[in-house]
A and B are shown apart, each in its own frame.
With several copies, the nearest count.
Chain A
Amino acid sequence: MEKVLVANRGEIACRVLRACREAGIQTVAICAANDAGSMFPELADEVVMLQGDTIAETYLNQSQLLEAARSTGAQAIHPGFGFLSERADFAQAVLDAGLIWIGPSPHAIEKMGDKMTARKTMKAAGVPVIPGEEIELEDEAAALSALEEAAQRVGYPLLLKASSGGGGKGMRAVTEPSGFAEAAAGARREAIAAFGDGRIYIERLLTGSKHIEIQIIADRTGHTVHLGERECSVQRRHQKVFEEAPGPTMTPAIREAMGEAAVAAAKAVDYEGAGTVEFLLAPNGEFFFLEMNTRIQVEHPVTEMVTGVDIVREQLRIAAGEPMSCGTVQMRGHAIEVRLYAEDPANGFLPSIGPLAVFCPPEGPGIRLDTGVREGDDVTPNYDPMLAKLIVWAPSRVEALERMRRALDEFVVLGTTTNVAFLRDLCDNEDVVSGSTTTTTIDDTWPQGWSPVEHEALTQAALLSAAAGETLGLHRPSRSGPSSADGPSSPFSTLSRRFP
């Protein structure tokens, strides 16, 4: 495997391209016209510009991607997450083209990607699943009425999910029958728009539970291991924003049971590569299978930080037919990831756009930044508003939270509204501090929505800063160039150091 095409963009494309470079593998990036100035194509050895304007015409266009692989001589395709990463038909097309698919087999994707089949598989493996039903009807009216009936059987509160979905898209919580019709229509429309697939899955909403997931890796030599759990309970509208490993309330017994269930699930579909099995952990210690993500996960870095396993590098190894390099896995310390979004948390988390006039991430020990943007980029409405993942590691959970607070305080983003202040507030949230978060922590804490605590002196100081900037003309470009007008030193050829 000497050349890999990365069929993705943004932060995860950067992650995979760098891993390939480290592994000595040549890389091909694919790139839509509106991404030409992005960071990820700069990290690739070759770039294929995609034709078309919409995502469907570019990053979701299977034939363009396969043609890009053919024309550049790439031998393998890494799908990242989102986009085509969980499309069995694409995985099959990649294999049919004689290429390596860096991920599980189309069969495994289909079995696990389809939520109903996955439920059956897990039931067979003896793992409890949440009560629920799926509606497959294509006709709008028929589908909506079937959904309505199913909802009555499943019971309220319930959750509508796009069957082929992920990342909270096409997902809606419905607490009572009166809100069902509008929610179902919206979920279906969004599912069709995002995934080209209107199938909707209804399941009982289990409140007060934790979202725990197990990372697994399987290679072709028959080894399947789990890398422990991540807790991702802190979600706003089904979008994870705060992820950690290990789970703060996890016990060795539950970890072992969940890990076994996850490995069993992977083995049941002859899984290959990296994958994640998600569970809901109820307050009484019972856990229920949620779904399996048959791809690398956004929050994989927290597992990497505590286990020391480079999951993307392992994906490359396994795809090349090598055994995984990680032996007995041991968790050490504590890692937390927060997702930095271009959004306004004080205004219903509405996505924001604008220039990243200043983008200055924190530095120092125990800090990792996975991003696809840099200062000077524009945040546009074309793609997901996630700007970066900030990950910290420390010997203990308490220290990790302390480090995250410090890192968020240092993170400067000017020109586009972000959720940094919201994330910072989260770090002081009582449930977060005690580790007793559930999937409804955010809604419970800020039922009327989040807004920043007022601080009059700081607001005045900010006004002073802006007024001073205006008065002194700090915004005029002449001030923003390199600070020194001096040329560099003259040639040093007449000098040599004296000692030793």
Chain B
Amino acid sequence: MQHRFSLKGEDVDVALVRKNGGLSYQGHSVTVDARGRLKLTLADGSSCTAHAAKVGDVWWVHMQGRTFALERIEPGASSQDHGDGLVAPMPGKILETLVKAGDTVEAGQPMMVLEAMKMEHRIVAAHAGTVVAVHFQSGDQVNQGAVLLELEDTN
């Protein structure tokens, strides 16, 4: 019973141990009631209830006023496998493209402006590099998940 989750870009392996009719990990344990509700006992002895729902590959967990979104990584895969394609996080319209293929960019440099949720969003380079391709132009509608442009690391 080992599962891998992506937490803030890092992969975490969670190995569960069966214990007293529940499952435990790092000294914390959980039981599940007939309705699928999670009752937790933390390592410090405190207890609480968690709400959990899976959407796509992501487990959403709420406990003690906090919400966690934990992406489950299929066995063998890694969350580090994402390429350097810059992906539209939501559907929208391209307002401006500020770079073209072959341009070199600094970390933080704006490359594209996307309109979505009635707001303008600026897509900036996460690191210095060379623009390999720009897939959309001003006025184009883009779907969520569309690769907007591709950036190659300078190193």
Q: Name A37's contact: one of B33, B68, B145 (CB within 8 Å).
A: B33
B36 to chain A, nearest CB (A): 5
Q: A381-B90, A470-B3, A487-B56 are in contact. Are A465 and B66 (CB under 8 A)?
A: no
Asked if A42 is at the interface (CB within 8 A of a chain B CB), the reply is yes
A355 lies within 8 A of chain B by Cβ? yes
| Cβ-defined contact, B40 with A350, below 8 A | no
Which residue of A is nearest B14, CB measured? A467
| Contact code string A468-480 (vs B, CB < 8 Å = 1, else 0) | 1111101100011
- Contacting chain B: which of A132-140, A251-259, A456-464? A456-464
C-beta contact mask, B17-56 vs A, less than 8 Å → 1, else 0? 0000001111011101111111010111011111111111
Do A37 and B34 contact each other (CB < 8 Å), given the known contacts A457-B42, A471-B1?
A: yes
> Looking at the complex, which one of B14, B25, B64, B69 makes contact with A409 (CB distance below 8 Å)?
B64
Q: How large is the interface on A (under 10, 10 to 19, 20 to 34, 35 or more residues)?
A: 35 or more
Inter-chain contact A424/B65, CB cutoff 8 Å: yes
Contact A486 B56 (CB under 8 A): yes
Q: Which range holds the interface residue count of chain B?
A: 35 or more
Cβ of A322 under 8 Å from chain B: no
Q: When the two chains form the complex, which single residue of A409, A460, A494 contacts B124, counting CB atoms closer than 8 Å? A: A494
Among A464, A480, A489, the one with the most B-chain Cβ atoms within 10 Å of its Cβ is: A464
A420 CA to B144 CA in the complex, in Å?
A: 24
Cα A499 to Cα B120 in complex, Å, equals: 8
A383–B116 Cα distance when bound, in Å, is: 9
| CB pair A457 B28 closer than 8 Å | yes
Smallest CB separation, B4 vs chain A (Å): 9
Query: Interface residues of A: mostly helix, strand, loop or mixed?
Result: mixed
Given A358-B60, A470-B72, A491-B9, A415–B123 Cβ distance below 8 Å? no
Instruction: With both chains docked as a complex, state the minimum distance between the C-beta of B127 and any C-beta of chain A, in angstroms.
Output: 10
Q: B121 contacts A466, CB within 8 Å?
A: no
Q: Does A169 contact B (CB under 8 A)?
A: yes
Do A474 and B30 contact each other (CB < 8 Å), given the known contacts A194-B118, A358-B53? no
Give the Cβ gap from A283 to chain B, nearest Cβ, in Å: 32
Give B37's nearest chain A residue, CB to CB.
A37
Report if B150 contacts A (CB, 8 A).
Answer: no
> B62 to A414, Cβ gap below 8 A?
yes
Known contacts A452-B66, A459-B68: A414-B122 contact under CB 8 Å: no
Chain A residues with CB below 8 A from B38, complex form: 465, 468-469, 474
Cβ B118 vs Cβ A383 within 8 A: yes
Question: B42: which of A350, A461, A483 is its contact (CB, 8 Å)?
Answer: A461
B128 CB contacts on chain A under 8 angstroms: none
B23→A464 contact, CB < 8 A: yes
Q: Does B101 contact A (CB under 8 A)?
A: no
Q: From residue A43, how far is it (CB to closest CB) to chain B in Å? A: 9
- In the bound complex, CA of A360 to CA of B60 (Å): 14
The yes or no answer to B58 lying at the interface (CB within 8 A) is: yes
Q: In angstroms, how far is the closest chain A Cβ from the Cβ of B57? A: 5
Residues A418 and B67 in contact in the complex (CB < 8 Å), given A384-B117, A468-B32, A497-B121: yes
Can you name the residue of chain A whose Cβ is closest to the Cβ of B125?
A: A494
Say yes or no for A391: interface residue by CB 8 A criterion.
no
Closest to A483 in B: B35
CB atoms of B52 and A408 under 8 A apart: no
Is A376 part of the binding interface, using a Cβ–Cβ cutoff of 8 Å? yes
B132 in the interface (beta carbon within 8 A): no
Say yes or no: A490 contacts B89, CB within 8 Å: yes
Are B89 and A190 neighbours in the complex by a CB distance under 8 Å?
no
Interface centre among A385, A409, A463, A498 (most CB of B within 10 A): A463
What residues of A have a CB within 8 angstroms of the CB of B133 in the complex? none
Task: Tell whether, in the assembled complex, residue B61 and residue A462 are in contact, meaning their CB atoms are under 8 Å apart.
Answer: yes
Q: Chain A 87-100 against B: per-residue CB contact (8 Å), 1 yes, 0 no?
A: 00000000000000
Instruction: List residues of chain B with CB within 8 A of the CB of A358.
Output: 51, 53, 60, 62
Please tell me if B136 contacts chain A, counting CB pairs below 8 Å.
no
With beta carbons under 8 angstroms apart, the residue of A351, A410, A464, A490 that contacts B145 is A490
Contacts of B69 in A (CB 8 A): 417, 488
Type the 1/0 row for B77-120, where 1 means its CB is closer than 8 Å to any CB of A: 00000100011011110010000000000000000011111111
Known: A464-B26, A490-B87. A414 touches B53 (CB 8 A): yes
Interfacial residues of chain A within 302-320, with CB under 8 A of chain B in the complex: none
- Please give, as numbers and ranges, the residues of chain A lying within 8 Å of B36 by CB-CB distance: 474, 479-480
5 pairs, A vs B, C-beta closer than 8 Å: A42-B48, A455-B66, A457-B42, A463-B7, A464-B30
Known contacts A459-B68, A463-B68, A468-B38; can you find 19 more A-B pairs with CB under 8 A? A42-B49, A46-B47, A351-B116, A358-B60, A376-B35, A412-B51, A412-B62, A413-B62, A415-B55, A462-B63, A463-B14, A464-B26, A464-B30, A465-B61, A469-B59, A483-B34, A486-B55, A494-B86, A494-B125
Interface residues of B (CB under 8 A from A): 1, 3, 5, 7, 9, 12, 14, 16, 23-26, 28-30, 32-38, 40, 42-44, 46-72, 82, 86-87, 89-92, 95, 113-126, 144-145
